[in-house]
Amino acid sequence: MQFDTVIHGGTLVTSSDVARGDIGIRDGRIVAVAENLSGGDARIDAGGRLVMPGGIEAHAHIAQESSSGVMGADDYLSGSVAAAFGGNSSFIPFAAQHRGQSVDDVIATYDARAARSVIDYSYHLIITDPSEAVLQDQLPRAFARGITSFKVFMTYDMMNIGDGGMLDILSVARDHGAITMVHAENNDMVKWMNGRLARAGLVAPKYHAISRPELAEEEAINRAISLAKLVDAPLFIVHVSTAGGAAIVQREILAGTRLFAETCPQYLAFTRDDLDRPGMEGAKFVCSPPLRDAATQAALWQHVKSGTFTSVSSDHAPYRYDETGKFIKGRDIPYPQISNGMPGIAARLPYLFSEGVVKGRISLQQFVSLSSTNAARTFGMTDKGSLAPGMDADIAIWDPEATRVMSLQDQHDNMDYTPFEGLELTGLPETVMTRGALITHKGRLIAKEGQGKFVPRAPMRLLGDGYLAKERDPAQNFGAQI
Ligand code: DUC
Ligand code: ZN
Ligand code: ZN
């Protein structure tokens, strides 16, 4: 058999297996997996290395303006390069609708921005304005293009679409095999807490943590699940930050609800005490939902271990520690005006490998599930996330024993800080390829700008009977067809 590339002598890791073997690649796809493959125009020696499906970053804000119009620091070039240095071979950032904007216009805008990517990509659509035209015409056109997921917000006045808007979106999504992602925090609880803190003059960065209570997340997760069940639509809870929220997710998954969820490294690595660093340093740790406490970290790790989470995603939302980012509204500002988000696209997988696999919290197979395979299956990247013959040759080769201290310079993003600075890590993604082409190799960027391709994603196939609310069951609702 002819191969363009053979990856030789490594330990192959998938979501189910760990075994020594070689991988043969031709025309961008894996065409053979065997104990020993000869030949290959190029041979990559993977002796002593782990060969895994490349990471799929399913939650990142790239070349995206916030609702208040602040552009994040990374465009699709720097964002994708940083992703690749962090072990990712593809990603799914957001394409955000601003109120009044058509979905077609949103997609055209992000197509132009994403053309710079060095790795493959798709978008989750953020919907803030579910008008009839959006629901009836524009979203179906987006599905037809292979954009099969959106995100909606239950918080922020500029983004929140209300429970009725959510039901509309969930129901259109269900009809087209799409999945709805939700930022679940109770808007009024957050606003009420903000009002109390403002009246008391408590505006330092640390009060950001107080302003968004755990109960606000737990209440909204519960409500989002109820809304999704009423229309039997699949739901994905993003950035779960609380033990209570994770427990609700776990309970519902065990009950068979079509539910998926993620947490993020920042909720495992940091606490609200980081918001109380000297001066305005706490601004570096302002993200929503906010950082919690040590007990929450332990509970979230337990849920990572026990399978509550589909993935661990970065929620890379990069705002520099300067007047273009965190302090775009001024240096000495109350916490609600600090730009909201933390960077971490290059840190996600090294963090999860070192703190998860090396410290014995999760297995190698779980690492692959949480970093790649589950995202591929949940979001319809049918050719990615595995090492089986026929799949895209999206591969990351890791040195499991390399050690380093996390630094800004290793992130390769456009940021001027990393919250993970100084963390001692074991395990390094040494080589990343997308569709058989080297993106990074031994610390060097090999890919050219624009090498990444848009990936049309498949609709979600709904398994099982699902949830039929009595009031929507024609046998129990006097025959109402609703
Ligand atoms: N939600 C996100 O997913 N990212 C950044 C800020 C936010 O509210
Ligand atoms: Zn969010
Ligand atoms: Zn986010």
Could you state, in order of their start, the residue ranges of all structural domains in the chain?
A: 55-371
Residues 263 and 424: their CA atoms lie apart, in Å, by 21
pLDDT per residue, tens digit, the chain (482 aa), is 899 999 999 999 999 999 999 999 999 999 999 999 999 999 999 999 999 999 999 999 999 998 889 999 999 999 999 999 999 999 999 999 999 999 999 999 999 999 999 999 999 999 999 999 999 999 999 999 999 999 999 999 999 999 999 999 999 999 999 999 999 999 999 999 999 999 999 999 999 999 999 999 999 999 999 999 999 999 999 999 999 999 999 999 999 999 999 999 999 999 999 999 999 999 999 999 999 999 999 999 999 999 999 999 999 999 999 999 999 999 999 999 999 999 999 999 999 999 999 999 999 999 999 999 999 999 999 999 999 999 999 999 999 999 999 999 999 999 999 999 999 999 999 999 999 999 999 999 999 999 999 999 999 998 888 999 999 999 999 999 88
Measure 37 CA to ligand 3 centroid, in angstroms. Answer: 42
What's the N-to-C CA distance of the chain in angstroms? Answer: 57
CA angle, 375 then 380 then 385, to 5°: 45
Strand 437-441 versus strand 444-445 pairing type: antiparallel
Measure 28 CA to ligand 3 centroid, in angstroms. Answer: 31
Radius of gyration of the chain (CA): 22
Q: How many other C-beta atoms can be found within 10 angstroms of the C-beta atom of residue 399? A: 17
Nearest atom (ligand 1) to Cα of 340: 6
> Rounded to whole angstroms, what are the CA distances from 473 to 177, 468, 479?
20, 6, 8
Angle between helical axes of 187-199 and 214-230 (0-180°, round to 10): 160
The residue among 144, 139, 113 whose CA lies nearest residue 125 is 139
Question: Six-digit token pair at 211?
Answer: 């302003």
Residues 95 and 106: their CA atoms lie apart, in Å, by 7
Nearest atom (ligand 1) to Cα of 94: 3
Identify the residue whose C-alpha is closest to ligand 1 atom 5: 341
Q: How many residues does the chain have?
A: 482
Question: In the beta sheet, which residues pair with residue 8?
Answer: 45
Measure 213 CA to ligand 2 centroid, in angstroms. Answer: 15
Hey, what CATH topology would domain 55-371 get? TIM Barrel (3.20.20)
Report whether 67 contacts 158 (CB < 8 A): yes
Query: Is 0.95 surpassed by the pTM of this model?
Result: yes
Is ligand 1 within 6 A of the CB of residue 341?
A: yes
